[in-house]
Structure 1
Amino acid sequence: AMAADGRFGGHIVAGHVDGVGKVIRVRRDDTAIWYTIQAKTELMRYIVEKGSITIDGISLTVAEVGESEFSISAIPHTVSQTILKNRREGDLVNLETDIIGKYVEKLVCPKAEQQPKNTITMDFLSKYGF
């Protein structure tokens, strides 16, 4: 844990996994290695350009955001010193989104709106033999 009485020079993350993403593209340009990660809608709502994302415990800055994917741009030194060096297209990664967005949502949305809708229906149960 970091003491709250000093300068915050990085991202605010808790070290908890919010969900899993899938590496769908890895590309290198002149200065960086770009990783594009596909994630579920439930996570994408908290992922914003220039915001924070933690991939496999590595706190990074989001460079681009699409509808169902986002990209980070990492300098070669960061990649070489972290587990990112082992990540390839198709790999699953643990994701933690920025905690600020989750707190803001909790404060402005009534609890009932935050609860996921029940997707268990009679058709679903019948389809799977119940």
Structure 2
Amino acid sequence: MFTGLVETTGKVISLEPRGESARLTLHVGGMASELVDGESVAVNGCCLTVTTKDATAQTASFDLLMQTLKVTSLGDLQTGSLVNLERAMSIGARFGGHFVQGHVDATVKVLDWSAHGQDHRLEVELPPEHRGLIIPKGSICLDGISLTAAEVSDTNVVCWIIPHTFQLTNLHTKKPGDRLNVEFDMLGKYVRELMRAMK
């Protein structure tokens, strides 16, 4: 379980195909000394398991299943790409953001990414099959970042990005047309399934 509050960014060293799967190796900086094999880390909002880590080289590797490559945008990563990183929640810590599982629902295309004074406007498409899972002022997780939906229509979602988020995350590397991983609010998904079951 995660909060969507990005701790730091990492840089892609390699994405090595292994049959229908792949191994992703990242430079994760000082976080490497705190990681243990088997630990869960959200990489661009996708919960991955640390396969190996090297505290001296400050690297960590993750095995990506075919399903992960199919559902997320991780297969788009190139050497040098910046990724958002968050370790799992710890009991007793303050809980900002919102409940994030690290289970990506889909990828969405960036429609608008523009500066407005010191802030930025991020508009992404809303897949038809996921309409109703996001409400105005509700939470949405984009590339592992807990954001508030400022505007919601039948076809898109607009979030406003403050300077802190712009500087701390990989968003400053994005442009219109890029794909982001999206995880919709867990409570909304449960409500939808309960309503379907009642019908």
TM-score by structure 1 length? Answer: 0.76
Aligned AA (1:40): P
Instruction: Write the mapping of 1:5-44 to structure 2, written as runs, cut at 5 A.
Output: 8-44=95-131
Q: TM-score, normalised by structure 2?
A: 0.51
Per residue, is there more helix in 1 or in 2? 1
The aligned counterpart of 2:168 is: 81
Aligned pair count reads 112
Q: Where does residue 50 of structure 1 map in the other structure? A: 137
Aligned-residue RMSD, C-alpha: 2.0
- Give the residue type in structure 1 aligned to 2:127: K
Residue 62 of structure 1 corresponds to which residue in structure 2? 149
Determine which of 159, 175, 178 is the counterpart of 1:91: 178
The secondary structure found in structure 2 opposite 1:109 is helix
Paired with 1:25 and 1:7, the residues of 2 have a C-alpha distance of 33
SS in 2 for 1:108: helix
Find the aligned partners of 2:190 and 2:105 in 1 and give their Cα distance: 14
CA shift, 1:6, in A, is: 7.2
Amino acid at match of 1:41: P
Which fold has the larger relative contact order, with Cα–Cα distance below 8 Å and residues 6 or more apart in sequence? 1
Unaligned runs of 5+ in 1: 114-130
Q: Which runs of 4+ in 1 moved over 3 A?
A: 1-9
Q: Tell me which amino acid in the other structure corresponds to 1:79.
A: F
Q: What amino acid does structure 1 have at the position aligned with 2:141?
A: T
Deviation track 1:52-72 (CA, whole Å, cap 9, x = no partner) reads 111111111111111110011
